[in-house]
Amino acid sequence: MGGMFRGLLFLLSLSVCFGRSNMPPEADQNLAREIYKEMVEIKSGYTTGATTPVAEAAARRLRAAGFPERDIFVGGASPAKGNLVVRYHGSGRLRPILLLAHIDVVEANREDWSLDPFTLTEKDGYFYGRGTADDKAQAAVWVANLIRYRREGYQPDRDIMVALTADEEGGGPYNGVAWLLKNHRELIDGEFCLNEGGRGQMVNGVKVSNNLQAAEKWYLDLRLEVRNKGGHSSVPTADNAIYRLAQALVRVSQVEFPLKVSEVTRAYFGGQAKLDRTSEKDTLAAAAKGDPAAIERVAESSPVWNSMLRTTCVATMLEGGHARNALPQLAAANVNCRVLPGESLEEVLERVKGAVGDAQVTISVTTREENSPASPLREDLVRTMSAITDEMWPGVAVVPTLSTGATDGRMLRVAGIPTYGVQGFFGERDDYRAHGRDERMLVQSFYEGQTFLYSLVKKLSKAQ
């Protein structure tokens, strides 16, 4: 055999070998897929569906696999809004780990989609269906992997708890995580939690990073309101509620919150610097080290990066006036703020009020979440995740991130349970369809994610 030919054969066998090692055993693939299909095909939209049938379907699978009834809990804030919690017992040497996924989905209408959103369809290398990405893949994989640990007789050093929860998307009074924290904290009280929120990113089909989400901004709505006695519109006065509000909003649009980096965003921009192939590489590296000029340049270069580096407030809704021929008695706006972890309500209010500078514009807080802290970048998690990522997808970096949006992880962080978005499901960075039409998941990514999460949880639940 010629050297080149041998070399090719070697490469070929290497890729076959890698390909195979990334896939779970066939029986486990089939089980995960069956559970996934069952979950996607149960309608669990916020208003048009229910999560209880999903929780019950998972409970049936677990019972059939030999999990005792006493380790399975199904319950929630209302009969339709059920959650499932199951516990796989370890030696108790370490405190439990919580594996979280939500089983409600954003609504989906058949007429908006090119396929039925509530049928799991495999086509062109993708699974299509509402919830295939957000968040029923992770829910199905948690259950399938737990069943696999049991079948294999795996003995962890800590309990492994899986919680499949209601109403992450809609939030509100039926949110499963909030309900469990309030009513059954003991069922989900872990040393730390793995959740959605950190995906694998691909650019033009090439995997570039496996994200580890360790922080989220928190949500705040402010109402700006101007009241006026009004009058006949044929006799305008200088004092007009709509103009007054408009001027206040212009000033809000000019507010610039201070740029800040944290442990998580330093690590994030450090990771981006390593991935970057452009002339911005050095700027990103300098930003990761805290150089103010570089941070400013990074923020200016992208709205997403800007939002990761500072609190933002933006006008999102307007109301005002009561008749076309009357001076307005009311003008009001909603201003939505996304606040960096660690920044307080008082700091935000002070800055917005200072900018508005008009006593006739009242500013009130209408929605306020609790300030959710960043989770510390645990050494064991970063190390283990990096090792498995490197083994499964050589060259792919683990990149810590801060989400500008929100998941249920924020509530656990507020409750003192550090939470990490870790999935190992890869998708195109610029083709993210969760919440939109034709939501999908790469078939291969689903199974690779299953392997990744299987190995990660197994390693993290053994004393190291």
Helices 379-392 and 3-21, interaxial angle, to 10°? 130
Which x/- pattern over 212-251 shows residues binding Zn ion (rule: CB under 5 A)?
----------------------------------------
User: What single-letter amino acid sits at 352?
Assistant: V
Cα–Cα dist 167/381, whole Å: 28
Cβ atoms of 45 and 108 closer than 8 Å: yes
Q: For residues 186-205, which are near Zn ion according to CB under 5 A?
A: 196
* Segment interacting with Zn ion, rule: CB under 5 A, options 67-75, 129-137, 203-211, 307-315: 129-137
User: Of 197 and 328, which has the nearer Cβ to Zn ion?
Assistant: 197
* Shortest CB 106 distance to Zn ion, Å: 8
439 binds Zn ion (CB under 5 A): no
Cα–Cα dist 118/108, whole Å: 8
* Segment interacting with Zn ion, rule: CB under 5 A, options 130-138, 325-333, 354-362, 388-396: 130-138
134 binds Zn ion (CB under 5 A): yes
* Shortest CB 434 distance to Zn ion, Å: 7
User: Of 134 and 439, which has the nearer Cβ to Zn ion?
Assistant: 134
Cα–Cα dist 31/37, whole Å: 10
* Shortest CB 130 distance to Zn ion, Å: 12
Cα–Cα dist 304/43, whole Å: 32
Structure tokens at 151: 């079948």
* Shortest CB 196 distance to Zn ion, Å: 5
Query: CA 308, 250, 222, 239: dihedral to nearest 10 degrees?
Result: 170
Cβ atoms of 394 and 265 closer than 8 Å: no
- CA neighbor of 22 nearest in space, from 392, 359, 390, 302: 392
135 binds Zn ion (CB under 5 A): yes
Structure tokens at 20: 């195979």
Cα–Cα dist 303/309, whole Å: 10
Cα–Cα dist 188/206, whole Å: 37
Q: For residues 311-340, which are near Zn ion according to CB under 5 A?
A: none
* Shortest CB 99 distance to Zn ion, Å: 15
* Shortest CB 158 distance to Zn ion, Å: 25
User: Of 134 and 225, which has the nearer Cβ to Zn ion?
Assistant: 134
User: Of 135 and 167, which has the nearer Cβ to Zn ion?
Assistant: 135
Size of the site for Zn ion (CB under 5 A): 3
Residue 355 has a CB neighbour count (10 Å cut-off) of 17
* Shortest CB 312 distance to Zn ion, Å: 21
Cα–Cα dist 287/267, whole Å: 10
104 binds Zn ion (CB under 5 A): no
User: Of 138 and 312, which has the nearer Cβ to Zn ion?
Assistant: 138
User: Of 197 and 418, which has the nearer Cβ to Zn ion?
Assistant: 197
Residues that bind Zn ion (CB under 5 A): 134-135, 196
